[in-house]
């Protein structure tokens, strides 16, 4: 899968490139708006990651020009300004999604995954990892065929983690997607940590293999085996 | 030249002179007419007296005109009978214009001005018993001259007075405006760096003194906000520096000598944690910065306050449970308020989060919503923790303020939570404050207008 990253800050650009390449994407980096625009119009990409604050031609200008050229490649914008107007402006111009800097890398990955599989229905009703099973219809969770009683929040949390199994999920993602709190400055981190602890006690502690792992400083991941 | 573009001094003089000129003109006209009237009445009464005397003499003498001789020859009169001259004085006879009088028709009274500039008042009458016609003239030249010189004085005096007014006004306006000059001079010297300076107040009771004190009050407020800004910048830099220091030292120590993979992971994880703290701090600062510039956009809509508070309580309940605290609620429902839900939730969760953090394990926290008699909705968040000293109750809402400076930073606590809560409440037209509580603990009350 081909991704074009238009970002002038070389450290950020290289970090994104490395991170994406680890996830087996093929990455091309453009350091200026002009270069990015040229690449985007001459080569085919599956996704464009576009920084809004670029020297010379701004990200929004490039986005406008691309959309005028009937270029339908999904665009994910990176912005340092998280004011609602800025985000709305980006989305109105034709961006498909946005991530506010400084972003958590797992979040960037999750959004890229979501954008690149867009159009394909991916709403499995039964989620599974090793011997852990979650049924979205009956809202039943079992492990080794044993029923696990979860509160509503714990169920939603587990469902989200299962849908992103194998990928690290940050607290910001959980706050927004599970708690539906869009403001970035709420004291939810502690709440999330306590819920994770309880979830772990119910679905991991009684069993031999541990599935829910904490990645220090980043977030949580649900996967089999050790790091 | 438009009047508005000239100096106040010039305009003052102009107005002053114009008003003076109008007043002087009115007074002059008044004096002129008054004097003229007085003189005319006087001259007329003299004429009448003279005429009456002649008439009385004729009557006393029973028509013998020879008695008139005793009146002297200086008087001006002539007596005729049936068109024939009966008697005239020497003066009448010698005066040139009297000859022309017969040709001039006039009533009882008349006036006459000779070529030499003399004025005469004339009265004509008959004495029917003796069939006499009498013409009497009175020399009113002096009175006419008086009026004439009065006119001259008034006309000549007017420009003089105006010139005096202009010169006087120039100096007076200069004097009156000299404090303005001093204030202007001082105001020029006051810059953002020298806001502690104040304008001179020459006389606090007059208008200019008043203006200067108003300016000084504004300067005080500006000085205050600049001071707060300076302190805020200093505090913010300090708070930002702390996680930066951690990141740097953890990174530097990790690179000091080769370590195993686990230790590297540990170091990087620790650095990332600090980065998150930094991010949260910057996010909070952004919220406050935006609140100050009034740029935050709110979307107020009718909301059931109890439902909103309930959501916040449910969200944070797990933290209280984790500390074995009891978190009880008492909601008055429905409680309709017109608020921006997201902002108010931020306020509620910040206050409740604080209560949970600062209350000891096993403590008790209660959240109550109610409606007061004066159409206000209240949220009370009560805990039985250590409480806040009375002197600190306002200060805790200031940015970066911590009651106990020695206390270790709790999760996410840079001392911005309550500052954000206050902004969030006030942006929704509410008030937030700490109340006295009988037993130890804290009672935080948020009041909002009911819709």
| pLDDT tens column, B197-255 | 888 887 788 888 888 888 889 888 888 888 878 888 888 888 888 889 999 999 999 99
Q: Where are the alpha helices (DSSP H) in A69-170?
A: 84-93, 105-116, 152-163
Helix (H, G, I), strand (E, B) or coil at A150: coil
- Mutation target vs B (from A106, A175, A187, A213; most B CBs, 10 A cutoff): A187
pLDDT tens digit string along B344-363? 998 999 999 989 988 999 99
CB–CB of B318 and A194 under 8 A? yes
Q: Does residue A227 fall inside a structural domain? A: no
Among residues A85, A116, A147, the one where a domain terminates is: A116
If asked whether residues A76 and A176 sit together in one domain, one would say no
If asked whether residues A28 and A91 sit together in one domain, one would say yes
Other Cβ atoms less than 10 A from the Cβ of A40: the count is: 24
If asked whether residues A95 and A201 sit together in one domain, one would say no
If asked whether residues A55 and A94 sit together in one domain, one would say yes
CB–CB of B350 and A183 under 8 A? no
What's the mean pLDDT in A129-153? Answer: 90
**A40 and A67 in contact (C-beta within 8 Å)?**
no
- pLDDT number for residue B411: 47
- pLDDT number for residue B305: 92
Question: Is the Cα torsion angle B346, B352, B355, B357 positive or negative in sign?
Answer: negative
Q: Does residue A130 fall inside a structural domain? A: yes
List all residues of chain B from 249 to 268 with a beta carbon under 8 Å from chain A.
265-266, 268
If asked whether residues A92 and A9 sit together in one domain, one would say yes
CATH number of the CATH domain containing A24: 3.40.50.2300
What's the mean pLDDT in B401-428? Answer: 73
How many angstroms separate the CA atoms of A23 and A13, rounded? 15
Mean pLDDT of chain A: 87
The region of weakest confidence among B26-30, B63-67, B179-183, B206-210 is: B63-67
Domain extent, residue A82, equals 2-116
Task: Kindly compute the dihedral angle of the four CA atoms of residues B154, B159, B163, B165, in this order, to the nearest 10 degrees.
Answer: 50
In the structure, what pLDDT confidence band is assigned to residue A189 with cuts at 50, 70 and 90? confident
The yes-or-no verdict on residue A77 having pLDDT over 60 is yes
Helix (H, G, I), strand (E, B) or coil at A99: strand
A184 closest CB neighbour out of B269, B272, B283:
B283
- pLDDT number for residue B331: 92
The yes-or-no verdict on residue B31 having pLDDT over 50 is yes
What's the mean pLDDT in B135-161? Answer: 88
What b-and-e string marks burial along B33-63, b requiring 16 or more CB atoms within 10 Å of the CB?
A: eebbeebeeebeeebeebbeebbebbeeeee
Q: Where are the alpha helices (DSSP H) in B190-303?
A: 207-256, 261-293
- Flag whether residue B346 sits within 8 Å of chain A, measured between CB atoms: yes
CATH number of the CATH domain containing A200: 1.10.10.10
Other Cβ atoms less than 10 A from the Cβ of B238: the count is: 11
Nearest C-alpha of chain B: how many angstroms from A192?
A: 9
What's the mean pLDDT in B167-195? Answer: 83
Q: B302 in the Ramachandran plot: left (φ > 0), alpha (ψ -120 to 50) or beta? A: beta
If asked whether residues A157 and A100 sit together in one domain, one would say no
What's the mean pLDDT in A13-40? Answer: 92
CB–CB of B286 and A82 under 8 A? yes
- Flag whether residue B323 sits within 8 Å of chain A, measured between CB atoms: no
- Flag whether residue A85 sits within 8 Å of chain B, measured between CB atoms: yes
Which residue of chain A has the CA closest to B313? A191
pTM (whole model) above 0.80: no
**A100 and A79 in contact (C-beta within 8 Å)?**
yes
B315 closest CB neighbour out of A102, A179, A183:
A179
CB–CB of A102 and B279 under 8 A? yes
- pLDDT number for residue B102: 63
Distances (CA, A) of B399 to B227, B405, B422, B423: 13, 14, 10, 11
Among residues A57, A90, A116, the one where a domain terminates is: A116
- Flag whether residue A80 sits within 8 Å of chain B, measured between CB atoms: no
Query: How is B316-368 classified by DSSP, letter by letter?
Result: HHHHHHHTT-EEEEE--S--EEEE-HHHHHHHHHHHHHHHHHHSPTT-EEEEE
Nearest C-alpha of chain A: how many angstroms from B389?
A: 24
In the structure, what pLDDT confidence band is assigned to residue B403 with cuts at 50, 70 and 90? low
Task: Return the closest-CA partner of residue B376 out of B304, B446, B302, B301.
Answer: B446
Find all residues with CB under 8 Å of B266, minimum gap 6, and list them.
A216
Nearest C-alpha of chain B: how many angstroms from A147?
A: 23
Q: Where do the DSSP E strands lie in B18-170?
A: 76-81, 84-88, 109-113, 119-127, 132-139
If asked whether residues A143 and A218 sit together in one domain, one would say yes
Using only C-alpha atoms, what is the Rg of chain B?
A: 51
What is the domain count for chain A? Answer: 2
**Domains identified in chain B and CATH numbers:** 3-150 (3.30.450), 207-293 (1.10.287.130), 301-449 (3.30.565.10)
A187 closest CB neighbour out of B273, B318, B350:
B350
The yes-or-no verdict on residue A202 having pLDDT over 50 is yes
ipTM of the complex: 0.79
The yes-or-no verdict on residue B387 having pLDDT over 80 is yes
Q: A186 in the Ramachandran plot: left (φ > 0), alpha (ψ -120 to 50) or beta? A: beta
If asked whether residues A154 and A70 sit together in one domain, one would say no
Using only C-alpha atoms, what is the Rg of chain A?
A: 19
If asked whether residues A133 and A105 sit together in one domain, one would say no
If asked whether residues A7 and A105 sit together in one domain, one would say yes
If asked whether residues A101 and A154 sit together in one domain, one would say no
Partners of A85 on chain B (C-beta within 8 Å) are: 297
CB–CB of B266 and A216 under 8 A? yes
Residue A195 burial class via C-beta count within 10 angstroms: exposed 0-12, middle 13-18, buried 19 and up = buried
- pLDDT number for residue A198: 93
Question: Is the Cα torsion angle B343, B348, B354, B356 positive or negative in sign?
Answer: negative
Helix (H, G, I), strand (E, B) or coil at B263: helix
- pLDDT number for residue A121: 52
The yes-or-no verdict on residue B435 having pLDDT over 70 is yes
- pLDDT number for residue B295: 62
The yes-or-no verdict on residue B294 having pLDDT over 70 is no
What's the mean pLDDT in A121-145? Answer: 85
If asked whether residues A81 and A141 sit together in one domain, one would say no
* Proportion of chain A above pLDDT 90, given as a percent: 36
Is A34 or B1 the better-scoring residue by pLDDT? A34
Nearest C-alpha of chain B: how many angstroms from A69?
A: 34
Partners of A187 on chain B (C-beta within 8 Å) are: 316, 349-350, 353, 411-412, 417
Partners of A183 on chain B (C-beta within 8 Å) are: 342, 345-346
Among residues A63, A95, A116, the one where a domain terminates is: A116
- pLDDT number for residue B326: 93
pLDDT tens digit string along A207-225? 888 899 999 888 999 988 7
How many angstroms separate the CA atoms of B252 and B133, rounded? 140
Find all residues with CB under 8 Å of B43, minimum gap 6, and list them.
B121, B138, B140, B143
In the structure, what pLDDT confidence band is assigned to residue A45 with cuts at 50, 70 and 90? very high
Q: Does residue A121 fall inside a structural domain? A: no
- pLDDT number for residue A122: 59
pLDDT tens digit string along B64-113? 777 888 788 888 888 888 878 888 888 888 877 777 776 666 678 888 88
Mean pLDDT of chain B: 85
How many angstroms separate the CA atoms of B76 and B51, rounded? 10
How many angstroms separate the CA atoms of A220 and A177, rounded? 14
The yes-or-no verdict on residue A170 having pLDDT over 50 is yes
């Amino acid at each position: 899968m081909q991704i074009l990253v238009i970002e002038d800050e070389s450290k950020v650009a290289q970090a994104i490139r490395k991170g994406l390449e680890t996830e087996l994407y093929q990455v091309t980096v453009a350091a200026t708006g002009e270069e990015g625009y040229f690449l985007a119009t001459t080569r085919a990409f599956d996704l464009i990651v576009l920084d809004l604050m670029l020297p010379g031609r701004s990200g929004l200008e490039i986005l406008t020009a691309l959309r005028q050229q009937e270029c339908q490649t999904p665009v994910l914008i990176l912005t340092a300004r998280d004011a609602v107007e800025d985000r709305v402006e980006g989305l109105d111009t034709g961006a498909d999604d946005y991530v506010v800097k400084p972003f958590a890398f797992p979040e960037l990955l999750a959004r890229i995954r979501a954008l690149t599989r867009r159009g394909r229905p991916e709403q499995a009703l039964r989620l599974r990892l090793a011997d852990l099973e979650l049924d979205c219809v009956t809202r039943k969770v079992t492990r080794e065929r044993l029923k696990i009683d979860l509160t509503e929040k714990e169920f939603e949390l587990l469902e989200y983690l299962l849908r992103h199994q194998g990928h690290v999920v940050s607290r910001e993602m959980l706050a927004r997607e599970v708690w539906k709190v869009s403001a970035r400055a709420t004291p939810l981190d502690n709440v999330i940590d306590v819920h994770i602890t309880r979830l772990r006690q119910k679905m991991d502690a009684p069993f031999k293999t541990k599935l829910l792992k904490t990645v220090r400083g980043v977030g949580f991941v649900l996967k089999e085996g050790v790091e | 030249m438009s009047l508005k573009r000239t100096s106040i001094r010039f305009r003052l003089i102009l107005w002053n002179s114009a008003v003076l000129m109008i007043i002087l003109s009115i007074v002059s006209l008044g004096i002129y007419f008054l004097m003229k009237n007085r003189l005319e009445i006087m001259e007329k009464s003299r004429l009448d007296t003279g005429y009456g005397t002649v008439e009385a003499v004729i009557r006393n003498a029973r028509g013998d005109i020879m008695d008139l001789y005793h009146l002297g020859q200086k008087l001006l009169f002539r007596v005729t009978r049936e068109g024939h001259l009966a008697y005239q004085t020497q003066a009448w006879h010698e005066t040139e214009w009297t000859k022309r009088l017969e040709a001039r028709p006039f009533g009882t009274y008349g006036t006459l001005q000779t070529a030499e500039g003399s004025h005469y008042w004339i009265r004509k009458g008959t004495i029917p018993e003796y069939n006499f016609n009498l013409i009497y003239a009175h020399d009113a030249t002096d009175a006419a001259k008086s009026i004439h010189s009065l006119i001259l004085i008034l006309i000549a005096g007017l420009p003089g007075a105006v010139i005096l007014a202009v010169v006087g006004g120039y100096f007076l306006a200069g004097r009156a405006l000299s404090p303005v000059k001093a204030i202007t001079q001082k105001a020029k010297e006051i810059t953002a760096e020298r806001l502690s300076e104040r304008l001179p107040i020459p006389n606090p009771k007059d208008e200019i003194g008043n203006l200067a004190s108003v300016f000084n009050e504004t300067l005080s407020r500006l000085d205050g906000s600049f001071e707060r800004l300076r302190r805020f910048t200093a505090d913010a830099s300090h708070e930002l520096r702390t996680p930066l220091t951690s990141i740097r030292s953890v990174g530097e120590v990790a690179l000091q000598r080769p370590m195993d993979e686990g230790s590297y992971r540990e170091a990087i994880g620790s650095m990332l944690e600090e980065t998150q703290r930094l991010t949260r701090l910057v996010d909070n600062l952004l919220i406050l910065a935006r609140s100050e510039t009034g740029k935050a956009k709110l979307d107020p809509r009718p909301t059931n306050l109890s439902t909103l508070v309930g959501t916040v309580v449910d969200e944070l309940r797990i933290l209280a449970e984790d500390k074995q605290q009891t978190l009880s609620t008492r909601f008055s429902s429905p409680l309709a308020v017109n608020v921006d839900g997201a902002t108010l939730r931020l306020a509620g969760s910040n206050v409740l989060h604080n209560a949970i953090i600062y209350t000891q394990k096993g403590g008790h926290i209660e959240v109550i919503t109610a409606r007061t008699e004066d159409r206000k909705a209240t949220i009370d968040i009560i805990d039985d923790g250590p409480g806040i000293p009375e002197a600190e109750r306002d200060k805790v809402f200031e940015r970066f303020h911590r009651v106990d400076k020695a206390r270790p930073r709790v999760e996410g606590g840079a001392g911005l939570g309550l500052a954000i809560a206050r902004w969030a409440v006030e942006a929704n037209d509410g008030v937030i404050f700490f109340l006295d509580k009988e037993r130890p603990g804290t009672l935080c009350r948020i009041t909002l207008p009911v819709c």
